[in-house]
Amino acid sequence: MPVGVVIPLTGEVTFFGTALQQGIQMAVSDGRTPDLNFIFEDDRSGDRAATVSAIHSLVARHKVRVVIVTGMPNAVVADPIVQKEKVIALSAWDSNHAIEQLSDNTLGFGWSNEKTGQAMGNFSLKTLGARTAAVVVAHDEWSEIMGQAFSNAFVAGGGKVIFHDSVELDGTDFRSLAAKIVHANPSVVYFPLYRSSLLSFARQIKQAGYSGILLSAEGITSAEVKQLGKLAEGMYVTGAYLDDSDFEQRYKSRIGLSKVELNLAHVALGYDLAVFLNACVADLLKGHEAITIEKLRTGMASVVVKGILGTTSFNGRKTTEREQVILQAKDGKLSRVPHTES
């Protein structure tokens, strides 16, 4: 069965596309996907027009039954197409409650945005002892959902959001905004950003003299921590994380060292996604059933597969609701914070 994979193979978030692709390729070479044929297309780091064009091409040329897209913004634009073409779409990177508003053909395989933002809000209160917060989000669906989930958890736990603002995702000058936040003096500043806005804001808030605790999300990887240098020291972020020496050794022996900063959990996500999809197809073939979209969709709701990242199960829902962990930047590296409150 042909499966389209529309992921970032060029651009600012190539690190995720490369990792996901390598994870899928590992599953293929391990013989875990005998019933599937993966066809990769570039979404140019989440470009929606590129995503739409790639899906149309995959449907027309390769007759794909399933298409994997990067994240929720791409899943939203893909939904009308997959609904019309009777194709299933899987949001690989992240997922949120907005999936419930899309057609039955669109599912979320990645990490829950709501749970991730909530985890950081609770961590700020219960572990860091914060009582006031500033929240800076981008004009972007993922960023806004993360910011709202953080604020809801923080306020519900007794904290107070004393400053909230939105910025452009590709913005670079936040000196005025940074000065306002420093004047408000919140205990923590939460900024779930990515692209150019992420590094620019992190640098300028520190340069403005903010001495509280900075909090962010998976936009900050080891690469961004290195670029920020001492400015990142002590920062907390949420992110996908995997500590599995066996899988790491298999990755190194099979793929070798990557040219880009990779998160091993993203590689494992690609691996688990491929194995899960094959299990769904194999179930139908075992029963000599035709591989229809309706039966695939039903199978995905009930199939349970133990993978590298743990058990994958939709359990009748439209998302797997994976949870991320909390990491801290120390000595130029991101390390998991033990026993975090969620």
What is the residue extent of each domain of the chain? 2-111+244-313, 114-241+324-336
pLDDT of amino acid 261:
61
CATH architecture classification, 2-111+244-313: 3-Layer(aba) Sandwich (3.40)
pLDDT of amino acid 194:
86
Q: pTM here?
A: 0.89
**H helices, E strands: number in the chain:** 11, 16
Per the model's pLDDT, the better-predicted residue between 91 and 321 turns out to be 91
CA distance 220 to 205: 15
| C-alpha distance from residue 215 to each of 133, 140, 244, 342 (Å) | 10, 18, 26, 15
3-state secondary structure of 33: coil
For residues 313-331, give the mean pLDDT: 90
For residue 339, what pLDDT band results from cuts at 50, 70 and 90?
low
Residue-wise pLDDT tens digits, 241-253:
998 999 999 998 8
For residues 71 and 91, the answer to whether their CB atoms sit within 8 Å is: yes
Residue-wise pLDDT tens digits, 39-75:
999 999 989 999 999 999 999 999 999 999 998 889 9
Q: Can 2-111+244-313 and 114-241+324-336 be said to share one CATH topology?
A: yes
**CATH hierarchy code of domain 114-241+324-336:** 3.40.50.2300
CA distance 228 to 98: 33
For residues 250-273, give the mean pLDDT: 83
Per the model's pLDDT, the better-predicted residue between 3 and 15 turns out to be 3
For residues 9-27, give the mean pLDDT: 92
For residues 201-205, give the mean pLDDT: 97
Q: Has residue 342 got a pLDDT over 80?
A: no
Residue-wise pLDDT tens digits, 266-321:
999 999 999 999 999 998 988 888 888 899 998 898 899 999 999 999 988 899 88
Q: Has residue 210 got a pLDDT over 80?
A: yes
Task: Tell the burial category of 233 from Cβ atoms under 10 Å away from its Cβ (0-12, 13-18, 19+).
Answer: middle
pLDDT of amino acid 255:
81
